[in-house]
Amino acid sequence: MEIEIIRIIFLTVVLFSIGILGVLTRRNIIVMIMSVEIMLNSVNLLFIAFSRYFQDLNGEVMVLFVMAIAAAEAAVGLAIVIALHRNYHSIDIMDIKALKE
């Protein structure tokens, strides 16, 4: 059974908004990274949907690239989190305001 494209677009927009809200509102850095992953995956879902809709393989190829970059990004992000935790003994962004100086 084919799902209508508009429903998938709606789903990805909701997912993307959840991701944005997570990044903007949560104080825990790990949760923020997870929110970024949600955003990436909502985009992936949209790629797949359009790829199928237009019968074009480019979208699926792009998804593979995004997944590879997301993996790299998670590795770097988590490494930064560990480094931050070593220095600040905290992963709460309200404790990490060195950018202000």
Q: Which two tokens stand for residue 90?
A: 């905290």
Candidate list 8, 9, 20, 81; residue touching another protein; CB under 8 A: 20
Q: How far is the CB of 98 from another protein (least distance, A)?
A: 7
| Interface with another protein, residue 91, by CB under 8 A | no
Angstrom distance (rounded) from CA 84 to CA 52: 42
Three-state DSSP at 35 gives helix
Listed in sequence order, the DSSP H helices in 26-57 are 29-54
Candidate list 7, 10, 25, 58; residue touching another protein; CB under 8 A: 25
Window of 5-13, 23-31, 52-60, 75-83 that interacts with another protein by CB under 8 A: 23-31
| Interface with another protein, residue 99, by CB under 8 A | yes
Angstrom distance (rounded) from CA 26 to CA 64: 28
| Interface with another protein, residue 6, by CB under 8 A | no
Our CA angle for 52, 71, 10, nearest 5°, is 40
Judged by the rule CB under 8 A, the positions of this chain that interact with another protein are 20, 23-27, 32, 93-94, 96-101
